[in-house]
Amino acid sequence: MELYSGHINRLIEELASLPGIGGKSAQRLAFYLINLPKDRVKRLADSIVDARENVHYCKICYTLTDEDICPICSKKDRNHRMIMVVENARDLAAYEKTGKYDGVYHVLHGAISPMLGIGPGDIRLAELIKRLETEEVDEVIIATNSSLEGETTAMYISKLIKPTGIKVTRIASGVPVGGDLEYIDEVTLLRALEGRTEL
């Protein structure tokens, strides 16, 4: 038996399909949105549609942006000779919050996972190698998660880059094994960055 009308049920179902939103949270959000003034709901809906239509990958680092080149890559005062490789844009944001890293990034959009059928060709590794061939780079910092997939990806990248003579480092411990970077506090991330080791 359905408790609510079709429009309410549809809204709850759509909200529940979002990651991290269960049925009860979806119901709470649905009623919150229904009770908002119409102009606020329209602004929210418009911002979602605008983001979906205008956000794409940076042509250099592959983070999400609404420009051809993201704000980090376009800054002249960043150290463009140091590239931190991260799994996703959320990890990039986590490191930016520390305010201590002045290099640039490369976003892989995933990690190698043979169990899930994700190989090197399924993430932005080819783009990283091409970038290293065309840019002057002194160091590549591998900041993938401390999971089996993250470690596998780090070792694979290290083996690809080491023959080029570019220094390859890995973020240090302090990041718990199995932990996702986006959920770790800035102090821990900063310690991991400062204590990175050469691979």
64-198 matches 6-54 in CATH topology: no
What are the beta bridge partners of residue 142?
Answer: 85, 170
Domain range list for the chain: 6-54, 64-198
As assigned by CATH, the class of the 6-54 domain is mainly alpha
Closest CA to 59 of 130, 6, 112, 113: 130
Distances (CA, A) of 151 to 11, 126, 162, 192: 40, 18, 16, 15
Q: Mean pLDDT in the chain?
A: 90
Q: Quick check: 178 pLDDT over 90? A: no
Over residues 21-58, the pLDDT tens digits come to 999 999 999 999 999 999 999 999 999 999 999 999 99
Q: Calculate mean pLDDT across residues 138-146.
A: 93
Would you say domain 64-198 falls under CATH 3.40.1360.10?
Answer: yes
Q: Quick check: 171 pLDDT over 90? A: no
